[in-house]
Amino acid sequence: MVVVFTNLRRWMLAHTRTLTRITVFLHEGKVNQHKHQIKMSQQGYVATPPYSQAQPGMGGYQGGYGPPGATQAFYGHYGGTTQPYNAPPTAGMMKSPAAGMTPTPVSQYSQNVQQNVQQNGAHPHRYPAPPAASAAYGQPPQSSYNTPGPQSPVNSVAQPHLQRPPPAMGQPHMHPGPQSPPMSPQMTAPPMAGTPLSPPPTAGAPQMGAPQMGAPLMGAPPMGAPPMGAPPMGAPSMGNPPMAGPPMGGMGGPFPGSPPPGVGGFQQPGQFGGPMGGPQPGMPGGFPSGPSQLAGPPQKKLDPDSIPSPTQVIEDDQLRQGEQIYTTNIRGQVPPLVTTQFTAQDQGNASPRFMRCTSYSLPCTADLAKQCQVPLASIIKPLARLPNNESPLHVVNHGESGPIRCNRCKAYMCPFMQFTEGGRRFQCGFCNCVNEVPMPYFQHLDHMGRRVDFYERPELCLGSYEFAATLDYCKNNKPPNPPAFIFMIDVSYNNVKSGLVKMICDELKTLLEKLPKEEGSESSVIKVGFVTYNKVLHFYNVKSALAQPQMMVVSDTAEMFVPLLDGFLVNYQDSKAVIYNLLDQIPDMFANSNESETVFAPVIQAGVEALKAAECSGKLFIFQSAMPTAEAPGKLKNRDDKKLINTDKEKTLFQPQKGVYEQLAKDCVANGCSVDLFLFPSQYVDLSTMASVPSHTGGSVYKYNNFQVETDGEHFLRDLRKDVQKPIGFDAVMRVRTSTGFRATDFFGAIHMNNTTDVEMASVDCDKAVTVEFKHDDSLGEDTGALIQCALLYTTLGGQRRLRIHNLSLNCTSQLSNLYKSCETDSLINFFAKSAYRAILKQPIKNVREILVNQTAHMLACYRKNCASATSAASQLILPDLMKVFPVYMNSLMKSSPLVASTELSTDERALQRLSVMAMGVEETQLLFYPRLLPLHNMDPNSDVLPAPVRCSEERLSDTGMFLLENGHSMFLWLGQGSSPDLIQSIFNLPSLAHLQPNMANLPELENPLSKKIRSIVNDLLEKRPNSMKLHIVRQKDQPEIVFRQFLVEDKGLHGGASYMDFLCFVHREIRQLLT
């Protein structure tokens, strides 16, 4: 019944027209694969095209597919030596004496006042006179009050930008409106703000001892502010008295107002329970210099509330900027945090949803950049999803002439082009070249020198917009065909037996009705195709004219080809009946298959060949059960070796196997073929290699260990649905241009680079981000600022070629204090995570961790030395206000599985996290490194308000509590041992916690307010996040709880790694060493 072909290619050449004769007509019944001898190619793996072209080392592939520069052994921040502070001043400092040093010594007191004034100025309509406050850690109030008062002008930044947003933006028709000129530079840099953290006052404390518990540092009593002493905004702490402080959002720290006696003040031994002890010496995976150095005399336990709180920072920003309109008209403006709910209004700069930066003020010189060691990077999510209340990007069509560009640097027309000579010329903001305005584009200038059609043209007044691309931007100068989705299902024994194959087939019947489509169009034009495989591949002809689908088998996996062109990729709606028929039959056809071996690389190869033949780009959805062990190109073997952990060879576990997959990734990128891999393994699969094609083609990798339909089915289907339906572009090339003085030097993402400038992505979806690092190649001017233009050329879901442009203008500064005032912790962490995760491909993990700590200490020491008050005690830890929670994130990153050398961790899991993070945006890395922990036990089930998240520490849990924890990839419902039977009854319909079944993955649907409320919280989160999360229900002190505990990132790591408190102490000590 089954006709098996080998060397079909040769055969095909001779018999193309009779091909259908040797197809299998599926309606004739089941096919028992195992009964048929499948003749494998005897050639084995021979070096014939396309596999023969693998050239080790090409294009920096080995170095994690970076640009050629990436192949050098150490680069970026992972090779530089730490610059000691007693080094002579750098040239940059000498040029500008003010650069490194704060001009006037400003006390902490005055810093606080200034900070508040600045914040007030920024939002006078919202917070007319909030109380002065800043996070102050450890400084006794007395000494704070004794410090000199403010010395800098405090009103210089009041109301810098209160223009009404122009009505033109975000509306289909743009009308000029009365408004101030956009892009006006910020008038005055905000005054600096510091977060001091003092050393232990006790004489006997070890020198590098833990930072003091926060003695509140007082701000001036607020004018017209509510009385002090209101309950804290922060997390309700479980058992510790809450930190006192009024709920004034955005005031930089938890300690405004009068110091509450006895709470959060000086050390109060005995008051601080829980495991937050002093440093724990000898922990595995601890600090490079050895945590034992921290060990000294027994230390008193510290109040965790005294160190900067991420949840407080998040909450403060939400209060300050949440539910407001964020207009992008100001150069170098620091946007709201990624966690804050806001509405962005484009007024000349790209929304932070598309672009975020590590700092919005770049140092003017390379020396200054080197001095502070703050990485300069932008995280770009070019196709980011916009909320419903923000309008989609305008599409500009300049007809056959195409978009207007600078003749020299090829930057696209944007708000940074300056029109001169009555509108006949424009000067490029990037390279300063003066260009002629093409006649059709000519327009007169108004009295302000602005084109009179300024508000009618998105490319003149907006930060983000799209151009319709002309044929010049298309492959072979032909308009692209609509993209295709190919579903490739592993039908080997395990996948069939688990019920997965049936589940996929059933789901596709409904999912294919919801294929994504071009904005505004009625139906999807995406073509679909189907392949099943084990050791051989089965292609299906689902042409609409057929009564039954036809199967064609290709067993020669060494020389993969697609045996049919017509009828393989079809329009779903046209071929619906035949596809339904096929999806109904597939599970039955392989029901009795005993085949357990599979191929993998030939599957991807088949997909590329199919897209190539159809001359379209697209995506492969591969559902694979195990490591490919069948004799075929790309066959893998188990190379997991725990003995390599903690050695110089540990990096090999993360390096993909060279050869076949390397070439395959290039083929995929060249043909606009993206690969999404869904893995269902029961053991090691060499994920580093199997995921190498997806992670360089803009694809995603999903993994479901020991998949069971009952417990993992819904979780997988949610992922699949999200993945299939998400907005996506194909065959993309991204180019990042900058104004003179600096340039993009390195790129991180699910990308491929053939040269140093063009970021190639076979596909890019709404969740994929590229992190771009910048370096100086000259000095930058404070007047002109720094400009970034990201241009993404891609094919839309509807098959249109487009250019999406994002523009962003940054400040430049010769004052380090300005730089630290414009930093964004969440973006910094995104950059550090990606650069560290790439560095572990080349360097021992120990070195990478060491570099992370050194750079953290260096950045903070530089701030301490150059920007903090000269009068503050030398031993005080003072953190930049916008970086005050940087250490907790950095510590969490260092404890993340790729950076923890523990034999207890799965190599595949570590590899998966490493690769996933590479494509993440700032929002995703923020949540990953600081999970959200929601107390659910005392919320009002009838309220719409979500409970405020609490800090990720055991301290915050309670025996009678119930908490939901999620980090975008995992979700836990944690139940304290003492949970009340009423609570358990309401949620689980069980008499007590003891009756709870292990492995429960869903909450029963019960008709009571609490059950409904909790399920709605869970569902909202699942809806909101890019990935699905499996819900784990864990009981306090049950064995599975250990998995949950590793997400309590403020605590000591389960597999090594310090607690937040210990890390802060350690960093403080490092800083002090740097400063002496």
Positions that interact with Zn ion (CB under 5 A)? 406, 408-409, 411, 428, 430-431, 433
Q: Cβ 788 to Zn ion, closest distance in Å? A: 13
Report in angstroms how near the CB of residue 430 gets to Zn ion at its nearest.
4
Tokens of 942: 């009838």
**Cβ nearer to Zn ion, comparing 738 with 979:** 738
Taking the complex as a whole, the smallest distance from the CB of residue 785 to Zn ion amounts, in Å, to 16
Omega within 30 of 0 (cis) for the link into 148: no
Q: How far is the CB of 739 from Zn ion (least distance, A)?
A: 9
Q: Alpha-carbon distance 761 to 742, whole Å?
A: 24
β strands within 865-936, DSSP E: 877-880, 932-935
Considering beta carbons, is residue 404 or 973 the nearer one to Zn ion? 404
C-alpha 641: how far from its chain's center? 29
Supply the minimum distance, in Å, between the C-beta of residue 407 and Zn ion: 7
CA angle 947, 953, 958 (to 5 degrees): 65
Helices 922-929 and 886-895: angle between axes, nearest 10 degrees: 80
Query: Which tokens is 789 given?
Result: 């233009």
At residue 613, φ and ψ (nearest 5 deg) are -65, -35
Number of H helices, E strands in the chain: 25, 32
Q: Residue 208: name the closest of 1073, 1059, 1052 by CA.
A: 1073
Q: What whole-number distance in Å separates Cα of residue 880 and Cα of residue 825? A: 10
Beta bridge partners of 770: 380
Could you tell me the two tokens for 755?
């040269």
* Residue closer to Zn ion, measured from CB, 428 or 645: 428
CB of 410 to Zn ion, least distance (A): 7
Cα separations (Å) of 844 from 550, 839, 858, 901, 908? 52, 9, 21, 10, 18
Cβ-based nearer residue to Zn ion, 430 or 455: 430
Closer to Zn ion at the Cβ: 117 or 787? Answer: 787
| Residues linked to residue 327 through DSSP beta bridges, in sequence order | 345
Please report how close the Cβ of residue 364 comes to Zn ion at its closest, in angstroms: 21
Nearer to Zn ion, 789 or 822 (CB): 789
Q: How far is the CB of 92 from Zn ion (least distance, A)?
A: 27
C-alpha distance from residue 1006 to each of 680, 946, 1003 (Å): 32, 20, 9
Stretch (H or E) spanning 506: helix 500-511
Give whichever of 363 and 403 is closer to Zn ion, judged by the CB atom. 403
The distance of closest approach from Cβ of residue 434 to Zn ion in the complex, given in angstroms and rounded to an integer, is 9
CB of 431 to Zn ion, least distance (A): 3
CB of 351 to Zn ion, least distance (A): 24
Q: Which is nearer to Zn ion, 409 or 948 (CB)?
A: 409
CB of 426 to Zn ion, least distance (A): 10
Close Cβ partners of 108 (under 8 Å, ≥ 6 residues apart): 134, 136, 139, 144, 147, 194, 196, 217, 869, 872, 878
Nearer to Zn ion, 492 or 738 (CB): 738
Whichever of 205 and 409 has its CB closer to Zn ion, that residue is: 409
Tell me how far apart the terminal alpha carbons of the chain are, to the nearest angstrom: 83
Is the CB of residue 131 less than 8 Å from the CB of residue 257? yes
Its sign, for the CA torsion 310, 315, 321, 326, is positive
Least distance (Å) from Zn ion to the CB of residue 737? 8
User: Is 672 within 8 Å of 611 (Cβ atoms)?
Assistant: yes
The two beta strands, 484-490 and 527-533, are parallel
Torsion angle of the four alpha carbons 33, 37, 38, 40, in this order, in degrees rounded to the nearest 10:
160
Whose Cβ is closer to Zn ion: residue 4's or residue 431's? 431
Q: How far apart are CA 201 and CA 437, in angstroms?
A: 68
Provide the residue type at 463 as one letter.
Answer: G
CA distance 318 to 358: 20
Determine if residue 399 is left, alpha or beta; phi over 0 gives left, psi from -120 to 50 gives alpha, anything else beta: left
**H helix or E strand, kind and range, residue 720:** helix 709-725
Angle between helix axes 981-988 and 1009-1024 (nearest 10 degrees) is 60
Closest distance between Zn ion and the C-beta of residue 779, in Å?
19
* C-beta closer to Zn ion: residue 740 or 817: 740
Residues 496-500: contacts with CB under 8 Å, at least 24 apart: 496/587, 496/590, 496/591, 496/593, 498/680, 498/707, 498/708, 498/709, 499/709, 499/713, 500/623, 500/625, 500/680, 500/707, 500/709, 500/716
Nearer to Zn ion, 409 or 468 (CB): 409
Shortest distance (Å) from residue 409 CB to Zn ion: 3
Q: What is the nearest approach in angstroms of Zn ion to the Cβ of residue 640? A: 51
Query: Considering beta carbons, is residue 289 or 757 the nearer one to Zn ion?
Result: 757
Instruction: State which residue, 356 or 806, has the beta carbon closest to Zn ion.
Output: 806
> Which residue's structure tokens are 């009964």?
35
Nearer to Zn ion, 215 or 428 (CB): 428
Q: How far is the CB of 412 from Zn ion (least distance, A)?
A: 10
The three-state secondary structure class of 745 is strand
Closer CB to Zn ion, 24 or 793, in the complex: 793
Q: How does DSSP assign 68-106, residue by residue?
A: GGGGSSS-TTSSPPPPPTTSPPPHHHHH-HHHHS-SS--
Q: Which is nearer to Zn ion, 406 or 764 (CB)?
A: 406
